[in-house]
Amino acid sequence: MSSFYVTTPIYYVNARPHLGHAYTTIVADAMKRFYRLIGADARMLTGTDEHGDKIVKAATKENKSPKEFVDGISAEFAALWKDLKIDYDQFIRTTDENHKKSVQALLQRIYDKGDIYYGEYGGHYCFGCERFYTEKELEDGLCPQHKTKPEYISEKNYFFKMSKYQEWLKQYILDNSDFIRPERYRNEVLAMLEGNVLEDLCISRPKSRLEWGIELPFDKDYVCYVWFDALANYISALGWGNSGDLSLYEKYWPAEHLVAKDILKPHGIFWPTMLKAADLPVYRHLNVHGYWLVKDTKMSKSLGNVVDPRFASEHFGLDAFRYFLLRDMHFGSDASYSEEALITRINSDLSNDLGNLFSRVLSMNAKYFEGQIPALGDLTADDEQIFASVDNAAQNYIQLFKEVRFSYALDGLWEPIRLMNKYVDSQAPWTLYKEGKTERLACVIRVLMENMYKIAVLLYPVMPESSEKMQAQLGKEFILHTKLIDDLLTCRVHLRTGAAVSGASNLFPRFEKPAEEKPADIKTNKQGKQKKEPAPKTDDNTEKGLIEFADFQKLDLRVGTILAAEQHPDADKLLRFDVDLGEDTPRQIISGIAEHFKPSELVGRKVVVVANLPPRKLRGLVSHGMILTAEKEDHLSLLDSSAPNGAKIS
């Protein structure tokens, strides 16, 4: 059985996980599931990158030791992957003892080979990127990523002779056209290698400046540069250089790496040259994707537009969210995230096309054949066209998935889905039924079911739970085995005549577009469907302005602390808050109190929050609750409480 090994970047633990991290991890999960589906022994690695200046700074800001701090955020990543049902095999942390041993083994090996030397270096160091920049790389003297002025640092350090491998790397990329893909990133790396530009890489930091790192095996006064340490995770996770047991390494290396464009250079240049210097085979592919933007702007904490993947997946359904991410981003290019785009995609592709097909066919089958799979008869040209269209789409889908062109793969799969809906209309089973043409009716329904089954199986990597559900609705249990995909592509019949199938199907509920501003009469139910509030009953109590105790009990009032406060980017009267309500992640709350308070004076204040209001969009930002205030003679105060965060007021 062939093997397959996909990796995500190991994420920095200086920030909480967001949509961008979730995207790469979901893609890796979909790739692992895809390779399992086509019969490979697939493995997935993710984890956290925990050393370096950045982390020390973030920990100091929260008055925590680096270890205490990294444990907390690393656990948040792991918890998110659990909620998003990511099927990874291993979660590596660069503070793991085994990883440290590997990094030291790799350093020692390259040192022994003579490719690491000691020298003096002066350069422009960006603390955000944790790397030195050359004069040429700076833009107007600023770091191109962070737009901040780097610090000029001069010190003695260890260097990896990266320049020695420049020509080899260039030739390797030229000889292997999809080593780095899509092509634009291959070209970017080739451009970085034009001329004699590659400098040696500074791979140490003196302990006098930074202690939070892995000690160099050949000089205890230095720790390893965080990128050298981090990149090694891809092999240390397989036991290379730490366990003596190389079975995982031998089985799974070389890897299929997944990263976004921000870390192209370390993965496209540092890593292959490090591997080459250590006489190890380079990775199979570097798959580079673009950035998720929000309203064409980079997500950033200060803009308050950071998308919470947990909320989106809970609200819209995990599979629908996964489908959207893989379908709407053309792998390699940037894509724009918005709830409107997500809802449009769900309603058109999932509810209208796929969901509708399942629901129509299964309910007709319940009506015409008492929910049992009817027999396939003689096929007409129209029937053949359906089989051919699904088979053709399936072949393309598999090829495109291998080429990490997920959006095209899915787009292609939707052609037969739409064709099947048209086939239902043109074959008009209801007329066949009325006219008593039972054999033809049976054949039409069976043609549909067989092909719906194929689509359901193919969708497993993207929508695993829905795929299993669709197969179950067609009377099939999903069991992965090495011949599954070959059978699917070569056999026409997979279902059993007479088997009982589901009589109905409601796979993907429709969503209404979020209303802007004050939708006071709108409530959201569990599936996120919006419904009108019933008109209030006017009884005696309501006339007197009294409410029932049961009505009061509906309010979920909670104590919280404001962690961050800032002006709403698009509205003078609104402020944006992150409020800690004792939950896993702080809540974003938008409140119209900008005329009464300065954001800076609110940070750290205790507040009372209505915690069970439906999410509501205010000038583009979603508010997950309401901060209570008290007003007298135009003076607004916050409701204070000394109770702990999350305490319920009753």
**Closer to ligand ME8 at the Cβ: 10 or 602?**
10
Residue 148 and residue 142 in contact, taking contact as beta carbons nearer than 8 Å: yes
Residues contacting residue 315 through CB under 8 Å, at least 6 positions apart: 528, 615
Residue 87 and residue 32 in contact, taking contact as beta carbons nearer than 8 Å: yes
Is 146 one of the annotated active-site residues of the chain?
Answer: yes
What minimum distance in Å lies between the beta carbon of 338 and ligand ME8?
14
Among 40, 78, 190, 299, binds ligand ME8 (CB under 6 A): 299
**Closer to ligand ME8 at the Cβ: 311 or 597?**
311
Using rule CB under 6 A, residue 238 touches ligand ME8: no
**Closer to ligand ME8 at the Cβ: 37 or 231?**
231
Instruction: Tell me the C-alpha distance between 49 and 29, whole Å.
Output: 19
Of these residues, 57, 298, 513, 529, which one is catalytic? Answer: 298
Q: Per CB under 6 A, which region of 70-78, 190-198, 228-236, 523-531 contacts ligand ME8?
A: 228-236
Burial track 90-109 (b if 16+ CB lie within 10 A, e otherwise): ebbbbbbeebbbbbbbbbbb
**Closer to ligand ME8 at the Cβ: 94 or 157?**
94
Among 33, 44, 49, 623, binds ligand ME8 (CB under 6 A): 49
Beta strands at 292-294 and 297-298: parallel, antiparallel or unpaired: antiparallel
Burial track 333-351 (b if 16+ CB lie within 10 A, e otherwise): eebebbbeebbebbbebbb
Using rule CB under 6 A, residue 10 touches ligand ME8: yes
What minimum distance in Å lies between the beta carbon of 11 and ligand ME8?
4
Angle at 32 between CA 30 and CA 35, to 5 degrees: 105
Using rule CB under 6 A, residue 260 touches ligand ME8: yes
Nearest to 21 by CA among 228, 307, 409, 337: 307
Using rule CB under 6 A, residue 12 touches ligand ME8: yes
Question: What would the x/- binding string for ligand ME8 be over residues 279 to 298, using CB under 6 A?
Answer: ------------xx------
What minimum distance in Å lies between the beta carbon of 12 and ligand ME8?
4
Token pair for 421: 């809906």
**Closer to ligand ME8 at the Cβ: 185 or 460?**
185
Among 4, 23, 91, 460, binds ligand ME8 (CB under 6 A): 23
Using rule CB under 6 A, residue 231 touches ligand ME8: yes
Token pair for 374: 């009817």
Q: Per CB under 6 A, which region of 19-27, 63-71, 479-487, 560-568 contacts ligand ME8?
A: 19-27
Name the residue with the smallest CB distance to ligand ME8. Answer: 20
Q: Per CB under 6 A, which region of 255-263, 358-366, 454-462, 578-586 contacts ligand ME8?
A: 255-263
**Closer to ligand ME8 at the Cβ: 236 or 505?**
236
Dihedrals phi, psi of 3, to nearest 5 degrees:
-115, 160
Dihedral sign for Cα atoms in the order 544, 548, 553, 556 = negative
**Closer to ligand ME8 at the Cβ: 325 or 575?**
325
Dihedrals phi, psi of 379, to nearest 5 degrees:
-85, 140
Which residues lie across from 335 on neighbouring strands?
292
Using rule CB under 6 A, residue 230 touches ligand ME8: yes
Residue ranges in 494-616 assigned as alpha helix (H): 540-543, 549-553, 599-602
One-character DSSP codes across 601-615: HHTT-EEEEE--SPP
* Residue 317: count of CB within 10 angstroms of its CB: 23
Of these residues, 54, 126, 202, 568, which one is catalytic? Answer: 126
Dihedrals phi, psi of 230, to nearest 5 degrees:
-65, -45
**Closer to ligand ME8 at the Cβ: 17 or 355?**
17
Of these residues, 146, 149, 156, 529, which one is catalytic? Answer: 146
What minimum distance in Å lies between the beta carbon of 620 and ligand ME8?
17
Is 21 one of the annotated active-site residues of the chain?
Answer: yes
Q: Per CB under 6 A, which region of 16-24, 535-543, 573-581, 587-595 contacts ligand ME8?
A: 16-24
What minimum distance in Å lies between the beta carbon of 425 and ligand ME8?
40
**Closer to ligand ME8 at the Cβ: 49 or 349?**
49
Using rule CB under 6 A, residue 50 touches ligand ME8: no
Name the burial class of residue 644, with classes exposed (0-12), middle (13-18) and buried (19+) by CB atoms within 10 angstroms of its CB.
exposed
* Residue 296: count of CB within 10 angstroms of its CB: 7
Instruction: Tell me the C-alpha distance between 396 and 516, whole Å.
Output: 40
Residue 587 and residue 624 in contact, taking contact as beta carbons nearer than 8 Å: yes
Using rule CB under 6 A, residue 76 touches ligand ME8: no
Using rule CB under 6 A, residue 645 touches ligand ME8: no
What minimum distance in Å lies between the beta carbon of 227 and ligand ME8?
7
Using rule CB under 6 A, residue 5 touches ligand ME8: no
Is 301 one of the annotated active-site residues of the chain?
Answer: yes
Please give the C-alpha separations between residue 297 and each of 246, 290, 335, 619, in angstroms, as whole numbers.
Answer: 45, 13, 10, 15
Dihedrals phi, psi of 84, to nearest 5 degrees:
-90, 5
Instruction: Tell me the C-alpha distance between 41 and 493, whole Å.
Output: 27
Using rule CB under 6 A, residue 93 touches ligand ME8: no
**Closer to ligand ME8 at the Cβ: 93 or 454?**
93
Residue with the two structure tokens 């191109």: 144
Instruction: Tell me the C-alpha distance between 329 and 323, whole Å.
Output: 10
DSSP 267: I
Is 126 one of the annotated active-site residues of the chain?
Answer: yes
Among 24, 273, 287, 471, binds ligand ME8 (CB under 6 A): 24
Instruction: Tell me the C-alpha distance between 476 and 499, whole Å.
Output: 9
Number of residues engaging ligand ME8 in binding (CB under 6 A): 19
Of these residues, 32, 54, 129, 276, which one is catalytic? Answer: 129
Among 11, 212, 249, 577, binds ligand ME8 (CB under 6 A): 11
Positions touching ligand ME8 (CB under 6 A) are: 9-12, 20-21, 23-24, 49, 230-231, 233, 259-260, 262-263, 291-292, 299
Catalytic site residues? 18, 21, 126, 129, 143, 146, 298, 301
